Chain A
Amino acid sequence: MRRLNKKGYVFTLDLVISLIILIMGIALIFYKYASVNKTIYFTEQMSEDIIGVLAYTRITDLCTNVNDPSRCDCPNYQSIKAVVCSTSPKLMDTDANLLSMTSEMIERRAFSGDKVKEIIHEIFVTKKVIDEKRFGFAILYTSLVTAPEYPLELYNTETYGTP
Chain B
Amino acid sequence: MKKGQMITFDMSTTLIVFIVFIILFILLFVLAQRTGQKHEFELEYVFSNLENNLKFDNSDPSIAFLRNYRVTKGRLNNFANTVADIDSYVIGEIGNAHGIGMDEEGYDACLYFKDNDGQFIGMGDEGLSVLGRLSKIGSGSRCQEEMITNNRNPCDRYKQALAMIKPVLFDVGNPTNNRIVQMNLVICKK
Q: Give the size of the chain A interface in residues (CB under 8 angstroms).
A: 47
- Interface residue tally on B, bucketed by range: 35 or more
A10 touching B7 in the complex, CB below 8 Å, given contacts A18-B17, A37-B160, A39-B155: yes
Which A residues are CB-close (under 8 A) to B175?
Answer: 60-64, 74-75
B21 contact from A25, A36, A57, Cβ within 8 A: A25
B160 contact from A40, A42, A50, Cβ within 8 A: A40
Which A residues are CB-close (under 8 A) to B149?
Answer: none
A38 contact from B29, B32, B153, B176, Cβ within 8 A: B153
Which A residues are CB-close (under 8 A) to B69?
Answer: 49, 52-53, 55-57
Which B residues are CB-close (under 8 A) to A21?
Answer: 18, 21
Q: How far is the CA of A57 from the CA of B158 in the complex (A)?
A: 37
Say whether A37 contacts B166, CB under 8 Å.
no
Say whether A39 contacts B186, CB under 8 Å.
yes
A28 at the binding interface (Cβ < 8 Å): yes
User: In chain A, what residue has the closest Cβ to B176?
Assistant: A75
Say whether A127 contacts B180, CB under 8 Å.
yes
Say whether A14 contacts B11, CB under 8 Å.
yes
Which B residues are CB-close (under 8 A) to A37?
Answer: 153, 155-156, 158-161
In terms of DSSP, what is the predominant structure of the interface of chain B? mixed
User: In chain A, what residue has the closest Cβ to B154?
Assistant: A39
Which B residues are CB-close (under 8 A) to A11?
Answer: 10
Q: How far is the CA of A62 from the CA of B6 in the complex (A)?
A: 84
Which A residues are CB-close (under 8 A) to B180?
Answer: 53, 57, 123-124, 127, 129
Say whether A46 contacts B158, CB under 8 Å.
no
Among B41-49, B78-86, B88-96, B99-107, the stretch that binds chain A is: B41-49
A41 contact from B17, B21, B164, Cβ within 8 A: B164
Binding site for A on B (CB under 8 A): 3, 6-7, 10-11, 14, 17-18, 21-22, 25, 28-29, 32, 40, 43-44, 47-48, 68-70, 114-118, 153, 155-156, 158-169, 171, 174-182, 186
Listed from nearest, the 9 A-B pairs whose CB atoms lie closest are A127-B116, A39-B161, A53-B69, A56-B69, A56-B68, A53-B167, A42-B164, A57-B169, A129-B167
Give me 7 A-to-B residue pairs in the complex whose CB atoms sit less than 8 angstroms apart, sorted by A's number: A14-B11, A21-B18, A32-B28, A40-B40, A45-B48, A76-B179, A130-B182
